Chains A and B, each alone.
Chain A
Amino acid sequence: MWKYEKRLQYPVNIRKKNLKLAKCILTQYGGPAGELAAAWQYLDQRYNMPDDRGKALLTDIGTEEFAHVEIISAMLYQLMEGATIEELKEAGLDGQYAQFGRDLFPSDSFGNPFNMTYIKVSGDYIADIESDMGAEQRARATYEHLMDLTDDPDVLGPLSFLREREIIHYQRFKELRDYYLKMKK
């Protein structure tokens, strides 16, 4: 089971509203390399890991990804807090507003809703772990693109933290993959 802890894994305190940036960051909530996709992917894959190492790692990283969903959500909330209708229109978020008002909704930066086919599950644990390594790399690249799009330190702090987590997760998945390949020999 899961328990809620009333804190973010890394604090988010964004002072400056920025709707265009929010629209870009939205992809890390509900886009193809987003945190939601990663969380479900790892937690779905853990059932068929061949040993306890894999079950532990996928459970722990999958759980952390949900903490990242919350960091991204907090960033979106703070970047859009107090936005006027005019500002929403100007940033191209009027469609978002029409459908969802001021609620969060998982989609990519273009407004395409979150799609479960983002989740890569194959029934083959090596293929699964390698798709996880790929997922971490794509998320790292996306965080770099997002960092290119802003100079606000309040935004760069959490983006940099999240990017670094992709690097660590990639490393741990790689260690797991290498270990299983060695065991297979």
Chain B
Amino acid sequence: MNNYLNDGFNMVTGLPMGNFEQEMPRDNNLSLKLAKQAGDNMNFNKCGYNGNSNPNNLYDIYNGFIRGNMFPDLYNQYKITKPFDVRPMNEQAELLTKVDAYCFAAHDVALYLDTHPNDQEMIRLYDSLNGEVKKVTREYENKFGPLLKNGATGYPWTWNNSPWPWEK
């Protein structure tokens, strides 16, 4: 249970992306250190962020996901001193969190690429994230049923099965 999100998270770029095998709570020290480097309490309206980034200075997949932000330079916290861990209640929720985290990382990098379409290094990162998204989605769908309708195959019809996203 505590090892969820461990496999594959470090293979995305081959770059140091944090340690996912430790027990929860996760490496908040690392996260805080990264956030400190970025200037924790900056007012993001005035931040010196120049809009360029590279895979080396992004959060790892899990820490980016729980922050809602893959870019430490842009991270700006409010009220809570550290982001909350996602605590899945069962194996299905664990695997879904993994899908969520990879999809999120790929999406956040994609928004960056929309305004930086010539950044080759980030395109390479996007490609590898996208590969992971496909892999974990397939893994989830094989075990627990379709996320997208085209993941529904065979008898009986599985698309109708609970849980729906808004259900606990």
Contact = CB atoms under 8 A, between A and B. Distances in A.
Interface residues of A, number: 47
Q: Is the interface of A mostly helix, strand, loop or mixed?
A: helix
A112 B6 CA distance: 46
A53 B148 CA distance: 27
Contacts of B114: 53, 56-57, 60, 172, 176
B83 interface: yes
Contacts of A47: none
A9 B166 contact: no
Contact of B69 (A11, A61, A164): A164
Nearest to A12: B166
Given A70-B165, A73-B166, A9 B69 contact: no
A153 to B, nearest CB: 6
Contacts of A164: 67-69, 75-76
The 4 lowest CB-CB distance pairs between A and B, nearest first, are A164-B68, A161-B68, A74-B166, A175-B115
Interface of A: 3-15, 53, 56-57, 60-61, 64, 70, 73-74, 77-78, 143-144, 147-148, 153, 156-157, 160-165, 167-172, 175-176, 178-179
Given A7-B147, A170-B44, 6 more contacts: A7-B165, A10-B100, A160-B80, A165-B69, A171-B51, A172-B115
